[in-house]
């Protein structure tokens, strides 16, 4: 049981380049999320998907797009990368109802550097 798997683990981009972060979960969870983590700023929600076919903006959506490809997969795209998007990105999933709580299961993270 892999849980939440995200790729790539590391990526270096030049300003203006595009890339897609991939995330997949095998826990049959309905909800999936993308967070970014910057030093001293905790985890900030970029986009989330409550269920297959729906996506919504979080706190910091500018510069990003997402696709909920199916129940398992939720990708994050940077169309034109900027140095301000240098961060560690975490994908997470949750299944409300398990013990009645919205517990997040995180992937291992993707460290992105934009030069």
Partner 1 sequence: GENVEQHPSTLSVQEGDSAVIKCTYSDSASNYFPWYKQELGKRPQLIIDIRSNVGEKKDQRIAVTLNKTAKHFSLHITETQPEDSAVYFCAASINTNAGKSTFGDGTTLTVKP
Contacts to partner 1 by CB under 8 A: 30-31, 33, 35, 40-45, 48-51, 58-59, 90, 94, 96-97, 100-104, 106-109
How near is the Cβ of 15 to partner 1 at its closest, in Å? 26
How near is the Cβ of 50 to partner 1 at its closest, in Å? 3
Cβ distance to partner 1 smaller for residue 17 or 71? 71
Angle at 29 (CA atoms; ends 25, 34), nearest 5 degrees: 60
**What 3-state class would DSSP assign to 30?**
coil
Query: CA–CA separation, 29 vs 108, rounded Å?
Result: 17
How near is the Cβ of 79 to partner 1 at its closest, in Å? 24
Cβ distance to partner 1 smaller for residue 19 or 50? 50
Cβ distance to partner 1 smaller for residue 27 or 43? 43
Cβ distance to partner 1 smaller for residue 85 or 110? 110
Q: Are 112 and 11 in contact (CB under 8 A)?
A: yes
Alpha-carbon distances of 27 from 65, 94, 105, rounded to whole Å: 24, 9, 10
**What 3-state class would DSSP assign to 23?**
strand
């Amino acid at each position: 049981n892999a849980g939440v798997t995200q790729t790539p683990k590391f990526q270096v981009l030049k300003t203006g380049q595009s890339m897609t972060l991939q995330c997949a979960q095998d826990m049959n969870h309905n909800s999936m999320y993308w967070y970014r983590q910057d030093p001293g700023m905790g985890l900030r929600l970029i986009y989330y998907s409550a269920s297959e076919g729906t996506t919504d903006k979080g706190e910091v959506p500018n510069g990003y797009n997402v696709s909920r490809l199916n129940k398992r997969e939720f990708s994050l795209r940077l169309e034109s990368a900027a140095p301000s998007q240098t961060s560690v990105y975490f994908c997470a999933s949750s299944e409300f109802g398990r013990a009645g709580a919205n517990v997040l299961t995180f992937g291992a993270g993707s460290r992105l550097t934009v030069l």
